Chains A and B, each alone.
Chain A
Amino acid sequence: MVTLEPPIEQLPCENLIYSRPESLAEIQTHYCPGCTHGVAHRLVAEVIDELEIQERTILVAPVGCAVFAYNYFDFDSAEAAHGRAPAMATGLKRVNPNSIVFTYQGDGDLASIGIAEAIHAATRGENITVIFVNNAIYGMTGGQMAPTSLIGQVTTSSPTGKDAALTGMPMHIAEMMAPLPGVVYSVRRSLHDARHTIQAKKAIRTAFEAQIQGLGFSIVELLSSCPTNWKMTPLDAAHWVRDEMIPVYPLGDFKVAEPLQNKNRSA
């Protein structure tokens, strides 16, 4: 029998280094074991706590595995139609200019069905933040090919591997967004290990700071894993992000507007 010595309860609480952020609701997520949607949620919640904006933040949740994100955050939330989160967020932000409005979208949601809404919100320089979770697959519907799937990637709708001649090359959202004039911050980070996760959090923080400062559209693309639909263990999935995804989706800062520079050097 192994127990802990001394019991945790007796440690003085000043020494509490890390605990669940306030902005993350107590409820347990429905995500599969090892799915990094949970990490992305937690990072966003930590940033919102640190910036002390919980009381004026509004989430616009997507259709995708994160459809219930509004249950997992402890602030006002809306559930958009598939891909329409940036339009819904636009409506919300325009009538609530003092709120901090962010969308949380998967790659099917943002890069496929909702690409028009995303690009136009970006072009208008809508003062919102987009957390874009790129897991190279449609998670919620059971692992079909996404515009972000890698060439050769086997999915339930590309059983012989994604074929560029048939469905095109993977879509690079962070790079696509960067040249749009309304965009002030467009970066790609990864959630496959602790070091990269810490960098991802810094980027998320900068993206929200951009909104607080009223600078315009900010987007953080997060390379994320989908162990279940990739048919891997969580650890293998993390390695797949590192070994297969990052070479196709290089991490980096594709646009950092002047007022945000020097805050957060690149990955």
Chain B
Amino acid sequence: MAKGRILIDVERCKGCELCREACPPDVIALADTLNSKGYRPVMLLDPQHECTGCALCATVCPDGCITVYRESVPKPQRKRKQPAYPGHVIPVAA
């Protein structure tokens, strides 16, 4: 399995958790902090590098706040827009 990573637009996330339910390796969790809108956003909690970049989380996200990366790409990709928001580092209690 290729390794993957997701990038979450924390400010856009409304914490609905649909992505959490969709995630096969179960590496998405609610953050302990609130974003500026007062929602508790989700974050990638993946110490074992289990994320495969399957993009199911992004598929169900109502707010389009997930960007997905994968280590190796099997087929050529269409032009994709780079996200406009900065990288994601959510401080959470270990």
* B residues near A42, Cβ cutoff 8 Å: 61-62, 64
Residue in contact with B63 in the complex, picked from A3, A29, A191, CB distance below 8 Å? A29
Determine if B34 is an interface residue (Cβ-Cβ < 8 Å): no
* B residues near A18, Cβ cutoff 8 Å: 55, 58-59, 66-68, 80
15 contacts between A and B (CB under 8 A): A2-B45, A7-B87, A8-B5, A8-B7, A11-B5, A11-B71, A17-B68, A17-B69, A18-B80, A22-B81, A31-B62, A34-B17, A42-B64, A197-B60, A235-B18
Residue in contact with A34 in the complex, picked from B47, B62, B80, B90, CB distance below 8 Å? B62
Q: Are A24 and B64 in contact (CB under 8 A)?
A: yes
* A residues near B92, Cβ cutoff 8 Å: 1-2
Decide yes or no: A15 and B70 within 8 Å by CB, A4-B44, A4-B89, A37-B62 being known contacts.
yes
**How many positions in chain B have a CB within 8 Å of any CB in the partner chain?**
51
Q: Are B77 and A234 in contact (CB under 8 A)?
A: no
**How many positions in chain A have a CB within 8 Å of any CB in the partner chain?**
44
User: Which residues of A approach B to under 8 Å, CB–CB?
Assistant: 1-4, 7-9, 11, 13-22, 24, 26, 28-29, 31-39, 42, 49-50, 191, 193-194, 197-198, 227, 233-235, 238
Question: How does the 8 Å CB contact mask read for B23-44 relative to A, with 1 for contact and 0 for none?
Answer: 0000000000000000100001
Q: A8-B5, A19-B83, A26-B84 are in contact. List 15 more A-B contacts (CB 8 A).
A: A2-B45, A7-B87, A15-B72, A16-B82, A17-B68, A18-B80, A19-B68, A20-B83, A21-B81, A35-B62, A39-B61, A197-B60, A227-B16, A233-B17, A235-B18
Chain A residue at minimal CB-CB distance from B55: A18
Chain B residue at minimal CB-CB distance from A49: B78
Q: Are B77 and A39 in contact (CB under 8 A)?
A: no
The 7 closest A-B pairs by CB, nearest first: A38-B62, A34-B16, A33-B14, A18-B68, A234-B16, A33-B16, A194-B56
Question: Roughly how many angstroms separate A19 CA and B81 CA in the complex, as a whole number?
Answer: 7
Residue in contact with A9 in the complex, picked from B47, B84, B87, CB distance below 8 Å? B87
Residue in contact with A16 in the complex, picked from B12, B17, B64, B67, CB distance below 8 Å? B67
Give min CB distance, B92 to chain A, whole Å: 5
Question: Roughly how many angstroms separate A11 CA and B17 CA in the complex, as a whole number?
Answer: 26
Chain B residue at minimal CB-CB distance from A36: B62
